[in-house]
Chains A and B, each alone.
Chain A
Amino acid sequence: SQQGEEDPQALSIQEGENATMNCSYKTSINNLQWYRQNSGRGLVHLILIRSNEREKHSGRLRVTLDTSKKSSSLLITASRAADTASYFCATPNDYKLSFGAGTTVTVRA
């Protein structure tokens, strides 16, 4: 069963706008990761946030983690056409990493 679930399933925004997507998970974790997948390609790791961190930045990406609510958010600021992709949150479970179904983001020119 999937540990994380992203919301919304799909998002369409104008270039230059911000995109926010959320991830909820079920059990305690020591970190949470976000990945991007361009159409027809493999997943690429974006950012990892540890359970003792509340917020983390990487370029135009901002990730938050609220362990009390078992939720995380990924914000992409000043979106570009190249940000069009599917975004997945992933949570570790022993040696394994469980992925949600993803949020598909479309950035319109």
Chain B
Amino acid sequence: NAGVTQTPKFRVLKTGQSMTLLCAQDMNHEYMYWYRQDPGMGLRLIHYSVGEGTTAKGEVPDGYNVSRLKKQNFLLGLESAAPSQTSVYFCASRPALAGELFFGEGSRLTVL
């Protein structure tokens, strides 16, 4: 039982490049989330999904896209990376009827 797994764990991009972060959970959770964490700012919600095939914008969605084609996977895409997207990205999931979030270990992205 791996919980929430994020890949890759580290990535360096050049401005303008694109990439996708993958989040996979094996707990059959309905809800999945992508947050970014920057120093002194806590966690800010980028996008979230309440079920397969559905996504919604969070607090800071600009510059990101997401897809939830399968219940267990939630993908976060950057179409044209910018230095302002340098951050640590966390995926989380939870069951529909419970409040507790389960987090992955994070993906550290640097955009040069």
Contact partners of A98 in chain B: CB under 8 A: 45, 59
Residue on A nearest B49 in the bound complex, by CB: A95
Tell me which residues across on chain A come within 8 A of B100, comparing CB atoms: 33, 45, 48
Contact A101 B99, beta carbon cutoff 8 Å: no
Identify B103's interface contact among A43, A95, A100, CB under 8 A.
A43
A45: B residues at CB distance < 8 A? 100-102
The interface on chain A, measured as residues whose beta carbon lies within 8 A of the other chain's beta carbons, has a size of 23
- CA distance in complex: A97, B4 (Å): 17
Size class of the B contact interface (CB-based, 8 Å): 20 to 34
Q: Is the CB of A101 within 8 A of B40?
A: yes
For residues 62 through 112 of chain B, which have their beta carbon under 8 Å from a beta carbon of chain A?
90, 92, 99-106
- Find the residue from A42, A90, A97 having the highest chain B CB count within 10 A: A42
Complex-state Cα separation, A98 to B35, whole angstroms:
10
CB distance from A87 to the nearest CB of B (A): 11
Alpha-carbon gap, A16 to B43, bound state (A): 30
**Is A41 in contact with chain B by the CB < 8 A criterion?**
yes
Residue of A nearest to B41 (CB): A101
Cβ of B50 under 8 Å from chain A:
yes
Q: Which one of B42, B56, B103 contacts A42 once the chains associate, using CB atoms below 8 Å?
A: B103
| A48 B41 Cβ-Cβ under 8 A | no
Collect the chain A residues with CB atoms within 8 Å of residue B92's CB: 43
Q: How far is the CA of A97 from the CA of B101 in the complex (A)?
A: 9
Assess the A48–B99 pair: CB atoms within 8 A. Answer: yes
Query: B106–A41 contact, CB under 8 A?
Result: yes
Chain A positions within 8 Å of B99 at CB level:
31, 33, 48, 92, 97
Give Cα A44–Cα B99 distance, bound, in whole angstroms: 13
Lowest 6 CB-CB distances: which A-B pairs, in order? A42-B103, A101-B42, A99-B43, A45-B100, A43-B103, A42-B105
Which residues from chain B sit less than 8 Å from chain A, CB to CB? 4, 31, 33, 35, 40-45, 48, 50, 56, 58-59, 90, 92, 99-106
